[in-house]
Chain A
């Protein structure tokens, strides 16, 4: 198990380093001058030069890359070019919204998707199964942003139960912060739940045909007992893979949902920073997003090992 862990951790570190280099140099070749963006079309050349120097843009790329990497190690990400605030603070501030949103959606989609998938598998071919899978098909087909707009029109504009958007910091009013996240979480979670339900169902239906389930039933277990005790754990492997991938989608999905609900999250921070060519913010925010996905993939790998003990043995020489 320890060997497996070390091998995985090395993989994580290497992935992050490659991602950092890719992000930095790809962004560096983007057309667009942040100083010109900030000072606009009537700015004089000397004002532009003064600002570029203030921002440290007059140094060669490789030196700026080195500075950024050292900054990443020490947690000092520098100042935002456009907002003139410490980047680490900006990102941490936005995380108080984006993390609960993404994880909330992950948990909600699991809580809805897995039981429904298991239920459908147990009732394979019956009306309950057909109905649920029909709903799931619709859930997959509906885009996040459209579903989000629908939720706002029904629950905020018409019923006025929940706010149509905006966010109140947790420290200021926790219940208002929670309420602000209800609709966005649902908007993100339901389409993902639909995918999970289908994968869970298919995987469980496959497992149900295996010999060991037949053996379990021959020993006197009912169909549901056999599925619950022996089937579900075996069916979880492909589901875990999908959940890991889904987290990347959820993180990307927050950008769209944050826009519909005008939430101050990491996605909007990145988006506005890209349009302002505030590459200082963009690269650090992107790396945080990559980091989140890599960590989740790492956890999924660990879960694999727990669910399927064979993996542990394979990795240890």
Chain B
């Protein structure tokens, strides 16, 4: 009797207090809140994680396999010399504020992104553009200085979405795009709410409403999922708790990959790392699987060079410098460091860096390299390591897709200066033939691996936790974003 009374009280409390999802509403958890919602004016991945493909669209778009698809441009023609692109635009499209979309908006967006006072975080995408010409309301031509192998892909990134002159200045707080969802509300510090766009030209989305909730604390994220306050977490912040969700039939854990090459970035101009033998010795000592298991609880794919393993051009170079302590010691001795040396390892906040750094330090100690671990915040990392190159070693994940070209810049914080590599990339940038591009990209990968420019650790995994009745989410993230256009609840 007593028991059933308690049970009843519990039931009443449960019905009074618990909130359940409405039909066709998705409540999605994200770790970081975007600083603002304009993807053309900031580098924060969190911006794209809310708006990409949902609110804003570009001429092209990237699909879940990383392939380029039509978006606001329905098709295109490229001139034989690869320097002129003519796009045909989708007709009848309006922005969310009711203004119409045409070729003038495309010209405005591209000219704005490449203007002198542009604050676009990927201004480099637009640098090759020499001319944007409106041919007709639904036709636009873009001319570029040299052929660009990646041009259509780049136009599909969040930084290249099309905005309207009427709303461009206020997109940061009130984003107006052409996408299948419209912006409803942003409760700062808490959530962003989107709703289905009834006037969308194209395939209808399944969801009526999407709520992005920002939870940075891994424990809080876990509790919110377990309590049923969220329907999914696109990239769950605590790999150690995924077991709990895997064991629970209410949830579906989806493990995919990201574009994040996690590396032991090395200052190639600092003593003693300017000596190839020292870098080779480090490469011989690194035990990638131990770092993946210890820091990421097994989630992650080992890499032997700066390239994503799921990319068709990837070459497996894990065995360029197999784990070999004796060989590593010999190389160090040859370089004049038979007794090892001391160096610093600067670690930004993410788990992969802080935990990975401790494991790595233990591994390097085996050959007498004594690392002092220094924890830094991102802002400090950007200033000390990235801008001022005041570091020996650091652990960081480079999340840009197809970013091997950063090694061709001798002023980049790795300070890797190799003419042969720079020539390879210069050719790669202007070649559009796929077979030729593949060969060049593979040569570049081999060169980086052999030069042991950085310690190559692993490709960051994407670990999504979803309500088991949901389908249509991206398992991988070939570009930053959470495309909700195919997400739906089971009947």
A90 at interface by CB-CB < 8 Å: yes
Partner of B35 from the list A50, A159, A276 (CB cut-off 8 Å) is: A276
Interface centre among B33, B123, B189 (most CB of A within 10 A): B189
Given the known interface contacts A33-B382, A84-B173, A276-B379, the answer about A265 and B43 at a Cβ–Cβ threshold of 8 Å is: no
Surface stretch bound by A, among B97-105, B225-233, B270-278, B306-314: B225-233
Known contacts A31-B384, A179-B17; A259/B123 CB under 8 A: no
- Kindly identify, within residues 35 to 63 of chain A, every residue whose CB is under 8 Å from any CB belonging to chain B: 36-44, 46-47, 50-51, 54
The verdict on A157 contacting chain B, using a C-beta distance below 8 Å, is yes
- Cα–Cα distance between A32 and B387 once the two chains are bound (Å): 10
Does the CB pair A160–B188 fall under 8 Å? no
Q: Which residues of chain A have C-beta atoms less than 8 A from B214's C-beta? A: 262
Q: Which of A110-118, A165-173, A188-196 contacts B (4 or more CB under 8 A)?
A: A165-173
Among A44, A164, A169, residue most surrounded by chain B Cβ atoms (within 10 Å) = A164
A44 — which chain B residues lie within 8 A by C-beta? 123-124
Q: In the bound complex, what is the Cα–Cα distance between A276 and B44 (angstroms)?
A: 10
Once the chains bind, are A82 and B36 in contact (CB under 8 Å)?
yes
Candidate in B224, B379, B380 with the most chain A CB atoms within 10 angstroms: B379
Interface contact A32-B383, CB-CB below 8 Å: yes
Query: Is B471's CB within 8 Å of the partner chain A?
Result: no
- Chain B residues whose CB sits within 8 angstroms of the CB of A268 once the complex forms: 189
The stretch of A122-130, A132-140, A148-156, A198-206 that contacts the partner chain = A148-156
Q: Does the CB pair B383–A259 fall under 8 Å?
A: no
Chain A residue with minimal CB distance to B403? A42
Any chain A CB within 8 A of the CB of B13?
yes
Bound Cα distance A82, B38 (Å): 11
CA A190 – CA B377 in complex, angstroms?
Answer: 33
Q: Which residues of B contact A160 (CB under 8 A)?
A: 13-14, 17-18, 227-228
Interface of B is mostly: loop
The answer to the question of B4 belonging to the interface, with a C-beta cut-off of 8 Å to chain A, is: no
Q: Which residues of A contact B10 (CB under 8 A)?
A: 159
Residues of A within 8 A of B187 (CB): 167, 169, 264
B382: A residues at CB distance < 8 A:
32-33, 36-37, 41
- Does residue B109 face the partner (Cβ distance < 8 Å to A)? no
Pairwise interchain contact A94-B189, C-beta atoms closer than 8 A: yes
Instruction: State in angstroms the CA–CA spacing of A278 and B386 once bound together.
Output: 19
Quick check: B43 and A167 within 8 Å, CB to CB? Answer: no
Q: Mark B241-272, 1 if CB is under 8 A from A, else 0.
A: 00000000000000000000000000000000
Complex interface residues of chain A between 76 and 120 (CB less than 8 A to chain B): 82-85, 90, 93-94
Contacts of B341 in A (CB 8 A): none
Q: Is the CB of A42 within 8 A of B383?
A: no
Instruction: Bin the interface of chain B by size.
Output: 35 or more
CB of B215 within 8 A of CB of A165, answer: yes
Enumerate chain B residues within 8 angstroms of A169, measured Cβ to Cβ.
187
Give the interface segment out of B78-86, B111-119, B133-141, B279-287.
Answer: B111-119
Chain A's nearest CB lies how many Å from the CB of B489? 21
| Smallest CB separation, A191 vs chain B (Å) | 18
Tell me if B324 counts as interface (CB < 8 A to partner A): no
Q: Which of B129-158 contact A (CB under 8 A)?
A: none
B220 at the interface (CB under 8 A from A): yes
Candidate in B14, B191, B220, B229 with the most chain A CB atoms within 10 angstroms: B220
Docked complex Cα distance between A221 and B383 (Å): 71
Asked if A7 lies at the interface with its beta carbon under 8 angstroms from chain B, I say no
Contact yes or no, A275 B378, CB < 8 A: yes
> Which residues from chain A contact B226 at a C-beta distance below 8 Å?
157, 164
Known: A31-B379, A37-B378, A93-B188. A83 touches B35 (CB 8 A): yes
Question: Inside 8 A of B378's CB, which chain A residues have their CB?
Answer: 37, 275
Query: Do the beta carbons of B223 and A164 come within 8 Å of each other?
Result: yes
Tell me whether B223 and A259 are in contact (CB under 8 A): no
Cα A159 to Cα B228 in complex, Å, equals 12
Tell me if A161 and B17 are in contact (CB < 8 A).
yes
CB of A260 within 8 Å of the partner chain: yes
Complex Cα gap A24–B84 (Å): 52
Question: Closest CB of chain B to A88's CB: distance in Å?
Answer: 13
A84 touches B36 (CB 8 A): yes
Contact A262 B216 (CB under 8 A): yes
B463 at the interface (CB under 8 A from A): no
Establish whether residues B43 and A46, one from each chain, have CB atoms under 8 Å apart when the complex forms: no
- A161 CB contacts on chain B under 8 angstroms: 13-14, 17
Q: For the complex, give the distance between the alpha carbons of A262 and B221 in Å.
A: 9
Q: Does A70 contact B (CB under 8 A)?
A: no
Does B229 lie within 8 Å of A166, measured CB to CB? Answer: yes
Q: How far is the CA of A36 from the CA of B10 in the complex (A)?
A: 52
Closest Cβ neighbor of A276 among chain B residues: B35
In the complex, A23 has a CB within 8 A of chain B: no
The complex places the Cα of A153 from the Cα of B382 at a distance, in Å, of 38
Collect the chain B residues with CB atoms within 8 Å of residue A39's CB: 42-43, 119, 121
- Residue of B10, B118, B377 with highest tally of chain A CB at under 10 A: B377
Is B122 positioned at the interface, with any CB of A under 8 Å from its CB? yes
Query: B289 contacts the other chain (Cβ, under 8 Å)?
Result: no
B293 at interface by CB-CB < 8 Å: no
Query: Which residues from chain A contact B190 at a C-beta distance below 8 Å?
Result: 166-167, 262-264
A55 to chain B, nearest CB (A): 10
- CA A169 to CA B224, docked complex, whole Å: 19
Check if A272 is an interface residue, CB within 8 A of chain B: yes
**A40 and B188 contacting across the interface, CB-CB below 8 Å:** no
Given the contacts A47-B120, A47-B123, A160-B17, A36 and B220 also touching, CB distance less than 8 Å? no
B224 touches A50 (CB 8 A): no
Whether A31 contacts B383 by the Cβ 8 Å rule is: yes
Given A159-B13, A268-B189: A33 touches B379 (CB 8 Å cut-off): yes
Which residue of A is nearest B189, CB measured? Answer: A264
Within 8 Å of chain A (Cβ to Cβ): is B400?
Answer: yes
A261 on interface, CB distance cutoff 8 Å: yes
Given A50-B119, A85-B173, A163-B19, A262-B379 contact (CB < 8 Å): no
Given A47-B123, A165-B223, A262-B213, are A38 and B229 neighbors across the interface (CB < 8 Å)? no
CB neighbours (8 Å) of B121 from chain A are 38-40, 42-43, 47
Further 5 A-B residue pairs, CB within 8 A, beyond A37-B379, A50-B117? A93-B188, A94-B188, A169-B187, A262-B213, A262-B214
27 A-B pairs (CB sep. < 8 Å) = A32-B379, A32-B380, A32-B383, A36-B382, A36-B387, A38-B44, A40-B44, A40-B121, A41-B43, A41-B382, A43-B121, A47-B123, A83-B172, A93-B188, A157-B227, A160-B14, A160-B18, A160-B227, A161-B13, A164-B220, A166-B190, A167-B190, A169-B187, A179-B17, A260-B219, A265-B189, A272-B33
